[in-house]
Amino acid sequence: MPRIRSRRLTACALTAVSVVLATTALTATAGAAPKPAPKDSVKVLDWLAVRQNSSKPEHLRVGTDWTSHGHLYTHKKGRLGKKIGDISSHCSIADRNRHGYVALCHRVLRTDHGSISLSDAIDRFGRHPHGGRSAVTGGTGAYADAEGQAEITFFGEGRARFLIKLDD
């Protein structure tokens, strides 16, 4: 009997030591794993858009689509700054009820330095301002391989603010 107890005690001790060694090895490996490098810099673009024309119909229903075009300006303390380009968008109604609608939109903001492409689904329920987040899906020129997101705010009267954060 003492031999069996001795073997069981040895087996339990070896199992416990194995668990401790495995945990230590995993912890050391996890600590040595490379961590994602923090973004060196996030480029922030603060632009205002003023709509020039739109084919948006007066009565909307699911599936209705339209295009809009406008001028793009820098944003200076709540006012229009220098004109830097233009914006074009194509939107479609994905959902509608008596309070408003959800629009799926693709937008292209063009400047002399290049263009930025945005894609979003934004709720427009209730009074202005409306808004939401938009994904930066690409770009050209100075914005080639652009990644990030934009915060869009629609103020009514055909004006919108685009606060774009690019993390190349």
Q: What is the largest CA-CA distance in the chain?
A: 95
pLDDT digits over 125-165, tens only?
888 889 999 999 999 999 998 999 999 999 988 999 999 99
Q: At residue 85, does pLDDT exceed 50?
A: yes
% the chain with pLDDT above 90: 65
Lowest mean pLDDT among 15-29, 69-83, 85-99: 15-29
Query: Which pTM was predicted?
Result: 0.74
Ranges of each domain in the chain:
1-35, 43-166
Q: CA 78, CA 156: separation in Å to the nearest integer?
A: 15
Return the CATH number of 43-166, one of 2.40.480.10, 3.90.76.10, 3.60.15.10, 2.60.120.10: 2.40.480.10
3-state SS class at 116: strand
For residues 89 and 67, the answer to whether their CB atoms sit within 8 Å is yes
Between 44 and 168, residue with greater pLDDT: 44
pLDDT digits over 10-47, tens only?
554 445 545 444 445 444 444 554 544 445 688 999 99
For residues 131 and 150, the answer to whether their CB atoms sit within 8 Å is no
pLDDT digits over 99-124, tens only?
999 999 999 999 999 999 999 999 99
